[in-house]
Structure 1
Amino acid sequence: MEILKRLAVSLLFLCSLESVSAAVEPYPLDYWALRDVISNVEVSPDGKHVALLKIPTKDGDPIIEVYPSDDLDAEPYRVNSHPMEIQGFFWLSNDVIGMNLRQKVRDRIEGFNEGVYEYLLASVDIKRKKMKKYDQLGAELEHVLPNNDRRIIFSYIPGGDKSRLNKAFRPRTYYEMDLKSGAKKLILRGKLDMGQVEFDIDGNPWLARGFDVGKGEYVWYQRVTNSGKWQEFYRLSEDSFETFEVEGFDDRQPHIFYVRANQGDDKIGLWEYDVRKGDFGELIYRRSDVDVAAVRFHSNEWKNRDSVVGVVYAKDNIKVEYFDELEMATTRQLQGIIPESHYLRINSRSRDGASLTIYNVGPRDPGTYYLLHAGKLTKVGSRQPLLEPENLAEVRYIEYQARDGRTIPAYLTIPNGKPPFPAIVMPHGGPFVSEVVVYDEWAQMLANNGYIVLQPQYRGSKGFGLEHYTSAFVNGGQGGYKMQDDKDDGMLYLVDQGWAEKDRLAMFGWSYGGYAALVAAARDDQIYQCVIAGAAVSDNQMQVNYYRDRLRGASKIEQLGMWDDSVSPIEQAANVNVPVLLIHGSVDQRVPPEHAERYRKALDKNGQVYKYVELDGADHFSNTLFYEHQKTLYESMISYLASDCGEGGL
């Protein structure tokens, strides 16, 4: 199925693939600016059709294409939701596809976390060729109901998203909906003390979560031991930084839940929890180096939706320790035959298990989909078909010592060529998130242009244990202090190891990473030639004041400990001692544009050297960066690094 190179080349009207393959020059930045050419490839429950999301022009909206599984060269059935944009889809039955849609309805944000888009659920019957949009704004699919091809369960948050409670515990209301008529029936109305519900394969509620305001505790309930009544089985103080996450249950013994929890340990492990006894049971799996990140469910969600088959952790790659031998053997066999196999998973499967789609992604594969049908493996297409494996960069997992002795994990994206290279440290956003670098477009784009890229998992990063995470704020916010040292020490490590040139160092980050870049621009012991700050928090107090009144418990300690006590870039504007490139989206709801406006005024007041690029219509998040946004972003960065990053450029 050639929707690959021909399609991408036609989008850009650029040079031929033959000349690209032979060239030693970096790819044109237009290549990197393309949004995913195809994505979301899934086989229907009966295995007869394959659907995919495709962006047919460089600045166009995604459409769904549906092909017969036994003829991927056939003319597809196409679905366009204009003026709404298709964000993703999912098979609801053999003939019905569900869709997440969004539409830009405003030109300006309405406040913090109040963006310019609104969202809807919809479906299309590929046999009758009819689309139906459902009228509940903000609705989210909860359950496909594999054993009922006419109904689904959806939910929404009444009154919108404005709540003082952690998003995972905001009460939702649940409806069952008839796909043909659109009629909906209330299942249950969530409330604060019990509002987050999970359903089993038949749509029976089995798990709920809530919050006890009086005691300041999160509460978990189950209906496995008594299907007619909710039973409380666990509480966790809102002041605790430990994790308690119910991931599933033993489908042979439903009263045995699988729980990710610290249970007094630094690292998150996977435990059995017996709801009849109300206590932890066997520790199933735990590591001494990283947290258990998730569980892996059976690849056949139509027949085995609730079956847990493995445990997931992440270090140099995303890895699965399987409990199910057949699932493990199937995955291992596919890994042996798919090119550039790195992180591979079966992302959809027919009800009979015979047809399946496979997704692989890695440092030398931006993401490729395959179909296994009628015993034949076929390459469906790549997210970025213009990028050849040999021209992409190697990614290594490394560890180095910060100046206070802490071990900092990191990912190193290494350009083709011989070191030393000019180097860029690219701290992730958050900061309290878990990052695993499998394929990172920004890092690969920079490496393709000759820069070695370091992505440090500085203190505050999740996934490496409780102490590594909380060390960023428990004894005062370390933003601009030890968290900043972690980044600088990584770059000095690269210099010591011969990877990087000491006079050719820079920092680029987005969101918190942009904040870190602004902090770096004003450090006394300066090691960088310039910084690039995207969507950067420039004023700590302004940022935390957007949501200060919503904070309580551990999140209050985390956020206030971080932002109240850390270095605020706007207060350091007079001390900036390297060139700065500022980039900000005009409708950024998470870090509103006022941050860039106020910081620029402070730089102007102090006569500092900087450039500013505004991405018109871009929000904070990557799925709002369209082709022109990304082209502008990449051209601005590469030009700045070459010409304006210190004397002579980087």
Structure 2
Amino acid sequence: MTPQFRKLCLAAAVSLMALSGPALAHAAAKPPSARVLTQRPTYSNVSVSPDGKHIVAIVSEDGKASFVAVWDTGAMDKQPVMMGAEEGSTLMGASFIKNDRILITMQKPWTFGSYKTHIRRSRITDFEPTRGAKKMLDLAGKDDPSVRASIVSRLPLDPRNILVNVEGDYFKMDVYTGAQERVYRGSEKYGYTFDSNGEVRLRRSVDFENGQIYFLIELKNPKTGEFEPHFKYFGKDRDPVEVVGYSKDPNIVYISASQGQDKVGIYTYDIAQKKILEPLFQHKMFESTGVIQSMAKDDYLDIVGYSYDAERTNEYWEKGSARGAQLDSLNKAIRGLTGSKTTRVPWIDPASGDQANVSVVDGAATDIQAWSDDMKVVIAVKSGPKQPPEFYLIKDGKSSLFGKSRASIDIASLGDTRLVQYAARDGLRIPGILTTPPASFGTGPFPTIILPHGGPWARDHMEWDVSGWTQYFASRGYAVLQPQFRGSMGWGRKLWTAGDSEWGQKMQDDKDDGAKWLIDEKIADPKRIAMFGYSYGGYAALAATIRPNGLYQCAVSGAGGSLADMKKATAESRLLREFQRPFVGGLDAIQAAGEAKIPIFLYHGDRDTIVDIKDSLRFINGLKAAGKPYKWLEIKDMGHGYATMTPDMMETQLVEIEKFFQNECKPGGL
């Protein structure tokens, strides 16, 4: 570790007063390189111990190698304790499970015969600086990479133990000795949920009735101790109920449900009465996602807030709770200090057609993300589409900048992002996230990229893009539209279900209609539009080459798959796979590869266990047979998700896509 990096860690907290000063005029800023955008952040995973005495973060000096760093909050001017990953592994996460114990998660490539994937290992360690070599305890209880283990609960009221799942069975694990005691035997038929006290409270199963898949949630009767059925819903109805929290009363749980409405809300549920009681939290225009409960002894399990998905994931602090009111007050104060702003935008609900002006982030938002039990130490993060995360420390009522994730990026070089809506050809309102180039590129029209998300049961948020895809191209003069096409989750049931079996059809129309809207708005140059997507977005890019719309000059498909394979392998999670399977249908682009009308660049990782690399190769074979132009890149050791991608892999994607746009998309480049 270099002396400069030690200084960086020592200077983790600086006064907010130092951030103020005269505004500087900027000329056209130089766009960030692919390497700068995709390297590992200088600071990430920042959190505080329950007793407030320590802060943990993952830090990186060179953007490639990462370390776990632990600071003493009573001596922030002292060198933090530093710990590295095991050889061949990458640090993925670090968090406190007890005041003096940290869970460190690492990942590395793993090959078993011809099967190539990535595995994660979780270790528990102390951070005592005088001990020298740390004693690492494996969560699985043994050093065997094939054994799956995960934390079920950190058991906040238990000073020694946590609850872990090892190969489907549940164990109480002593975090000081590593000793494990089985407390519950798992089952192939059921999935179980435990509360934060380590008590099993729920079991879930999947079955079929008259050929229709259904999901059954059973809750434990607090009087008899027996599981009883409470929620049974069929996949075709697309009206799931989820338990999102447990109260101090064993008869009361908190659920998310739609209750016949388009948007999910949070409700109280009475187990004895088998009755949904009053709504706890609802948003008229957006989906509620969960409850935030205190884990501190003094107000254990009290609800302090709720989360909901709008343009981003938002928190609403429950001001009727003492801790919630304190969090709300702190959040407002730190937003003021960091210059976070909101703005009002007109919004039309896709389901009801109701109109309202909704509050959304203007540039970046600052949010409380971690706090000590006594609220004397709080961590906040400022982040947005053109704002790499910055972390702030609030200690004893005083605020300071803890660290910046990507201090070398000049945000003046980045594009501006806003929440938009447009009408699909059948009138359905489609949300979108639009990023336009910096002002130095003029007012447009711009070369444009239509960037559909993966899933497709997923959605985009107005947040910092860890892939670098959006801002890399916006900073170089491209407009980027992320259409929230029908089939996207998180915007309400109507938009979600409208995509059923419409792959490559109405789902694709929504993307094309977004491109047409940008042309009408004089944002997109009609002769310079491409589609680029990854996973399901990669499939959409394949479909774009085949459909006879003439909108796109070229397409880029990352890990795009066939309809048949996606129908049987839509996710590694059996629950999601079975839930989504009946609604996958439409155009199988791979079968029609020979009909491609525009150049395409395909890339895929050879360790992808979600979408087989053979799908991309099959599309290429169809292109070859028809004499159609293409570019191909196989990325060694890359899996499917971002977590399996090294900075070099992510940098390669950006550089190679840009080369394709400039040199092979069409004569003269995109």
Alignment of 1:229-628 (within 5 A): 229-251=226-248, 253-298=249-294, 304=299, 306-324=301-319, 325-340=325-340, 342-417=364-439, 418-440=443-465, 441-473=468-500, 477-537=501-561, 539-546=562-569, 558-562=580-584, 565-628=585-648
Counterpart check, 1:124 vs 2:125 = yes
Change beyond 3 A, Cα 1:488–1:450: same
SS in 2 for 1:403: coil
Residue 511 of structure 1, CA deviation? 0.5
Match of 2:322 in 1: none
- Contact kept? 1:431, 1:461, Cα under 8 Å: yes
Match of 2:162 in 1: 152
Among candidates 197, 207, 223, match of residue 226 of structure 1? 223
Residue 448 of structure 1, CA deviation? 0.9
Counterparts of 2:376 and 2:579 in 1: how far apart (Å)? 51
Match of 1:14 in 2: none
SS in 1 for 2:136: strand
- Contact kept? 2:221, 2:272, Cα under 8 Å: no
Change beyond 3 A, Cα 1:258–1:452: same
Counterparts of 1:598 and 1:400 in 2: how far apart (Å)? 35
Counterpart check, 1:68 vs 2:72 = yes
Match of 1:162 in 2: none
Counterparts of 2:608 and 2:160 in 1: how far apart (Å)? 39
SS in 1 for 2:661: helix
Counterparts of 1:347 and 1:637 in 2: how far apart (Å)? 35
- Contact kept? 1:310, 1:323, Cα under 8 Å: yes
* Letter paired with 2:137: K
* Letter paired with 1:118: I
Match of 2:351 in 1: none
Residue 72 of structure 1, CA deviation? 3.5
* Letter paired with 1:140: S
Residue 347 of structure 1, CA deviation? 2.3
- Contact kept? 1:120, 1:133, Cα under 8 Å: no
Residue 559 of structure 1, CA deviation? 2.4
- Contact kept? 1:302, 1:350, Cα under 8 Å: no
Residue 483 of structure 1, CA deviation? 0.7
Counterparts of 1:376 and 1:449 in 2: how far apart (Å)? 39
* Letter paired with 2:652: T
SS in 2 for 1:595: helix
Normalising to structure 2: TM-score of the pair?
Answer: 0.84
Residue 245 of structure 1, CA deviation? 0.8
Residue 369 of structure 1, CA deviation? 1.3
Counterparts of 1:634 and 1:34 in 2: how far apart (Å)? 12
Residue 173 of structure 1, CA deviation? 1.8
- Contact kept? 1:4, 1:381, Cα under 8 Å: no
Among candidates 85, 90, 93, match of residue 85 of structure 1? 90
SS in 1 for 2:511: helix
Change beyond 3 A, Cα 1:302–1:99: farther
SS in 1 for 2:108: strand
Change beyond 3 A, Cα 1:365–1:256: same
Residue 20 of structure 1, CA deviation? 14
Identity %: 27
Deviation per residue, 1:29-81 (Å, 9 max, x gap): 22112122221111222222221112333332x22011222444422211123
SS in 2 for 1:131: coil
Counterparts of 1:491 and 1:516 in 2: how far apart (Å)? 14
* Letter paired with 2:502: Q
Deviation per residue, 1:538-591 (Å, 9 max, x gap): x32244345799989x965842442xx311122222221111111111211111
Change beyond 3 A, Cα 1:85–1:34: closer
Change beyond 3 A, Cα 1:394–1:108: farther
Counterparts of 2:59 and 2:530 in 1: how far apart (Å)? 36
- Contact kept? 2:5, 2:61, Cα under 8 Å: no
Residue 155 of structure 1, CA deviation? 0.8
Give unpaired runs (5+ residues) of structure 2: 10-23, 320-324, 342-363
SS in 1 for 2:135: strand
Change beyond 3 A, Cα 1:576–1:50: same
Match of 1:32 in 2: 37
Among candidates 47, 50, 70, match of residue 52 of structure 2? 47
